[in-house]
Structure 1
Amino acid sequence: MTATISASTKRQVAARAVGVTKLYGEGEAQVAALRGVDVEFTAGEFTAIMGPSGSGKSTLMHTLAGLDTLTEGEVYIGDARVSDMSDKELTLLRRNRIGFIFQQFNLLPTLTAEENILLPLAIAGRKPSKDWFDRVVDTVGLGQRLGHRPTQLSGGQQQRVACARALVSQPEVIFADEPTGNLDSASGTEVLEFLRDSVRTLGQTIVMVTHDPRAASYADRVVFLADGRIVDELREPTADAVLDKMRNLDSRARVA
């Protein structure tokens, strides 16, 4: 039986999946990445998604963000039904309502930090709010680095530029896929503290896929997947509590 994890009914739901199934391949080669997943992500909350390798965590994030199609089920960003959108509608959704942070910083080397941060708005033909831009830059702590190009920045600073780029358009939700995966411990801590602070001080909504219990401990909530199903969740997580949960999931997988 599939577990159903729901957000508090007192707060707005930023993103949700309803009965989401995702199959790859056909016949005997068919693989079920997601199996009837029901999950909600509350606005203004930092949620981490964890699970063993192949559990479906990245697939879940990609389907929520409209980056991958569904076999069955429905996905919503706010009240917008993503699973019914055309390619043009999906492009507009991702441009205007969703932010992305990935392992690879994806910064343009010829642009300064400020130009990289403002790039999504420039592409959309939108002008930034100076007050919001200043607030984001202050939150990421890059006020003295805006004129620097990526090669002049550390890995942690480059990822903070990527975080600011995701925030500057004031999206309803930011999806982060292993955002500290290419960073050393100190730089990773910088980025995780920024993500946590952006939720607490800016009211941002973040859904982060990670394999790292320490990274997950920065979240308000951790959702656990195994074999394409949500099997558990943890609120106010500690690294040790997350690690214990993951050990149990790994043990269950070995027995199966």
Structure 2
Amino acid sequence: MSSPEAAARAVDVWKVYGSGETEVAALRGVTLTIERGRFTAIMGPSGSGKSTLMHCLAGLDAIDKGEVHVGDAALAGMSDKQLTALRRDRVGFIFQQFNLLPTLTAEENILLPLNIAGRSPDRDWLDRIIDTVGLRPRLGHRPTELSGGQQQRVACARALVPRPQVIFADEPTGNLDSQSGAGVLALLQQSVREFGQTIVMVTHDARAASYADRVVFLADGRIVGDLTDPDEGVVLDTIRKLDADSAAVEAA
């Protein structure tokens, strides 16, 4: 059964790449509930499975065993058409590379998901989001005429305007300077606290993770830590402990 408090949920999820001697288990029995209206960060070293977990939760990647739910929808057995509709109607995405169309203006990029879905924007909600991201004077500009921070704010607005059940952000500040990154993280945090949005963010940055309500740590495809209301120092201490534990296991 799917929990009414869960925006997304993984139950005993396994994801394996390759076969035989080249087989690699990216996820090993991961069970995780993403609560509605909260900002969850997923951290872990390279190869820990954090991006794979996000892709599986978002319906971008099929799992080999277990269950994945987005809201009340179970992804198992869905056709490609059904998965496409789910990602279009229930899920938002923010990527490290912004993924804006260069020939469209900022406003056209923001409205693109609604146009693809054949939906008209809620003008009051659209105006609220545009004012929140602070881009009203730049709506007529194309991506090349915007700074990196402004482009990522366009991407955030694009994800927020359709009011998805959950937004997945993959290293959203990875290509930004510290000031622009902090502005984007504050915006994501605000969207959770003021708009009730649900956000799942993959990051390697302890400072970025400190903006979240919860931080989940992965290593070798398993959940190995879970913090609530973290600050940057606690996140860093947890990472150091996990690194030390991993080094001890390898040395044994």
Is TM-score (shorter-chain normalized) higher than 0.5? yes
Distance (Å, rounded) in 1 between the aligned partners of 2:130 and 2:240: 38
**Within 2, Cα distance between the matches of 1:35 and 1:146?**
44
Letter in 2 for 1:227: D
Question: 1:229 maps to which residue?
Answer: 222
What is the one-letter code of the residue matched to 1:240? G
Q: Which residue of 2 aligns with 1:144?
A: 137
Distance, in Å, in 2 between the alignment partners of 1:28 and 1:198 is 45
Please state how far the C-alpha of 1:232 moved relative to its aligned partner. Answer: 1.3
RMSD: 1.0
Aligned to 2:48: 55
**Residue 194 of structure 1: which of 184, 187, 190 is its match?**
187
How far did 1:250 drift?
A: 1.4
1:19-34 maps to which residues of 2 (within 5 A)?
A: 19-34=12-27
Alignment of 1:1-256 (within 5 A): 12-255=5-248, 256=250
Deviation at 1:83, TM superposition (A): 2.5
Which amino acid in the other structure matches residue 101 of structure 1?
A: I
Distance 1:53 1:93 in 2: 29
Give the aligned residue type for 2:197: Q
For 2:145 and 2:76, the matched residues in 1 are separated by: 41
The Cα offsets for residues 150-203 of structure 1, whole Å up to 9 and x where unpaired, read as: 111110000000000011111000000000001111110110000000101111
Unaligned segments of structure 2, at least 5 residues:
none
CA distance in 2, matches of 1:84, 1:243: 40
1:5 alignment counterpart: none
Spell out, residue by residue over 1:228-249, the C-alpha distance to the aligned partner (whole angstroms, 9 max, x if none). Answer: 1111111111111001111111
Q: Is the 8 A contact 1:174 1:206 kept in 2?
A: yes
CA distance in 2, matches of 1:166, 1:234: 26
Structure 2 residue identity aligned to 1:31: V
Instruction: Give the match's secondary structure for 1:105.
Output: coil
Q: Deviations over 1:34-69 (max 9, x none)?
A: 000100011000000001111100000000001111
Seq. identity, %:
71
Q: What's the CA shift for 1:84?
A: 2.2
Instruction: Read off the aligned partner of 2:65 and give its amino acid letter.
Output: E
Counterpart amino acid of 2:23? Answer: Q
Displacement after TM superposition at 1:109 (Å):
1.2
Show the counterpart of 1:3.
none
How many equivalent residue pairs? 247
Report if the CA contact (8 A) 1:66-1:83 is conserved.
Answer: no
**Does the aligned pair in 2 maintain the 1:222–1:234 contact within 8 Å?**
yes
Q: Following the alignment from structure 1 to structure 2, what is the Cα–Cα distance between the partners of residues 84 and 60? A: 18
CA distance in 1, matches of 2:164, 2:18: 33
One-letter identity of the residue aligned with 2:87: R
Deviation at 1:110, TM superposition (A): 1.4
Q: Give me the TM-score of the superposition, normalised by structure 2.
A: 0.96
SS of the equivalent of 1:84 reads coil
| More displaced 10-residue stretch of structure 1: 78-87 or 89-98 | 78-87
Contact map agreement 1:51 1:249 (CA 8 A) in 2: no
Paired with 2:6 and 2:62, the residues of 1 have a C-alpha distance of: 21
Q: Compute the TM-score of the two structures, normalised by the length of structure 1.
A: 0.95
Contact 1:177/1:210, CA 8 A, preserved across alignment:
yes
The CA distance in 2 between the partners of 1:250 and 1:143, in whole Å, is: 44
